[in-house]
Chain A
Amino acid sequence: MHCEMILDEYHEKMPFYEKMKSIVTERLGACLEENKIVVAGLESRIKSEKSLTGKLELKGSKYQTLDDITDILGVRIITYYSDEVDVISALVEKLFDIDWDNSVDKRKMLEIDRFGYMSLHYVCRIPERMYHDPAMPQLNQIRFELQMRSTLQHVWANMYHDMGYKSDVEIPAEYQRNMSRLAGMLELVDEQFSRIRKEINDYRRNVQALVASGDFDEVPLNGDTFRSFLELKPFQRLADKIAAINQAELYEDDLMSYCHILMLMGMRTIGDVVRMRNENEEGAYQLALIQLAGTGLDIVAYSVVLQNICIVYILTQGFGEAGLERMFKLLYGESEYNVQRAHRIYEQAKKINLI
């Protein structure tokens, strides 16, 4: 009889849960976006009648009313990195009213020599400052559960759940040890991913500082350093000069595809790239001049600058048409047209005495 009353209340309150689900997921999604946090998943579900019935059959006496059950609406945020759980929980604390008496940090509940379920569970309410409808005050009264955990914690919890065990007391001892070993391993992997990400971020900050210092010979050429170098707009002067040939619009496209080519050309440092630019920019301009003047083409991509610098470098270093073909193959893929392309440019270069 008692359980039936709770089930009736469940059906009556369904419209509130539906509305809450929409408010909570929408606000959480917006908050993550505002804070530039990309998560692996933001899930929400309303407990099914079947699942609620099962819960009431097991622990019915524990609940007086439906409001005592805090996970009818359940929301879960799955992060890529375990250290993001703390960042997100701080945001959640600002967004929602937290029922601290019923919230648990399962990460801190494990004994120091135990490994297993790791997740942060908050029981929350929607505060009036976030959403208030005088016709539906229940929206600010009904509690919901918000779980936060990393992808690897999520994997472990799902696998564990898939085996049909609700708690570790149910699992046979011989398997419990293996599950704990797995949990311990995943915890270590989680920690390593966070550490590696932090180290990469530190490295990128250092690279940016080094590039900004202008001591280019000390900066090795790689994807990160080249990206930082491009932020200094090192080819702007030549790009403006080439655009001026036809009073053209300059379209700023991405030059990153040239990093690999520069490395294959033997550039080891950003300093090497700067020297290459300085030594070949006049030739690159002359090449653009013979190609563009009189065509009336009044839009050019920024990358034409580096394209021409590389062409001039290849030709002045004596790599000839074969060198150009290799560059075009790297840039545009295998194509019979690369031969024609290389020959056409080689002939143009001869006309302006580049070779």
Chain B
Amino acid sequence: MKGNIMDVTITKDEGKTFVKLDGRIDTTNADQFQHDILPLMGGDNLDIDIDCSGMNYTSSQGLRIFLMLQKSVMSRGGKLVMRNMNPLVKEVFDITGFSNIITII
């Protein structure tokens, strides 16, 4: 398990943007995570698929960044999907009601 690091890998394929997250998002690295994810909040990143299999925790700061990304994608007529979330992270989304906002598969 990684420490207070969140690795963000962004790739593109046939117009779709794939994001792979590894690590955790908390107060110590949320600003860096926001900076890493910033390129997705504009341009032609309309169809975003986030693989969360390597993400082991997110704090409220992480939720706010995902919410910001969701709003940005929606306002441009795109779609954000988060997949392969581990049960602990899913629970965070459930108990805050964020599972009602973001598509998690």
Q: Which A residues fall within an 8 A CB radius of B?
A: 248, 251, 253, 257, 288, 291-292, 295-305, 307, 331-333, 335, 337, 340-341, 344
Q: Which residues of B contact A300 (CB under 8 A)?
A: 96-97
> Are A303 and B60 in touch, CB under 8 angstroms?
no
Q: Which residues of A contact B98 (CB under 8 A)?
A: 301
B9 to chain A, nearest CB (A): 24
**A-contacting residues, B53-105, CB 8 Å:** 59-60, 63-64, 67, 87, 90-92, 94-101, 104-105
Q: Which residues of B contact A251 (CB under 8 A)?
A: 67, 97, 101
Q: With A291-B95, A333-B105 as known contacts, state yes or no: A253 contacts B60, CB within 8 Å.
A: no
Q: Which residues of B contact A299 (CB under 8 A)?
A: 60, 63-64, 67, 96
> Are B105 and A301 in touch, CB under 8 angstroms?
no
Can you list the 5 inter-chain pairs with the closest CB atoms, starting with the nearest? Answer: A301-B97, A304-B97, A291-B95, A303-B100, A303-B97
Which residue of chain A has the shortest Cβ distance to B96 in the bound complex? A300
> Are A335 and B100 in touch, CB under 8 angstroms?
no
Size range of the interface on B? 10 to 19
Q: How far is the CA of A248 from the CA of B63 in the complex (A)?
A: 12
Which residue of chain B has the shortest Cβ distance to A340 in the bound complex? B87
> Are A307 and B59 in touch, CB under 8 angstroms?
no
B92 to chain A, nearest CB (A): 7
Q: With A253-B101, A337-B87 as known contacts, state yes or no: A304 contacts B96, CB within 8 Å.
A: yes
Q: How far is the CA of A292 from the CA of B98 in the complex (A)?
A: 13
